[in-house]
Amino acid sequence: MLEDIVAWAAEHPEPSTLMLVMSDISQDFLDVVDLLTTKKNYRFIEVLPHPPPPPPRPLVLILLTNNSSD
């Protein structure tokens, strides 16, 4: 993917728009972003989704019975 980004940046003069949707970002990717920012004057906008809500707490029910033999 990094090679594709670098090739795309070489073919598209600034300003251009590239949108990527990624779940994990590697250090190699961040290095390419830094190079494109400093050498080609590209701008990047990082959009992070809200973290998912925590899972619901488990429900524990205890049934108490009266076992009197009266």
How far is residue 58 from each of residues 53, 54, 55, 61, 62, measured CA to CA in Å?
15, 12, 9, 10, 13
| Residue 38: predicted pLDDT | 85
Q: What is the pTM of this model?
A: 0.47
Of the chain, the end-to-end C-alpha distance in Å amounts to 77
Per-residue pLDDT tens over the stretch 8-66: 778 876 666 667 777 777 888 888 888 888 887 777 777 777 888 898 888 888 888 87
Do residues 59 and 32 touch, judged by C-beta distance below 8 A? Answer: no
| Residue 69: predicted pLDDT | 61
| Residue 14: predicted pLDDT | 67
| Residue 52: predicted pLDDT | 83
Query: Which one-letter amino acid corresponds to residue 65?
Result: T
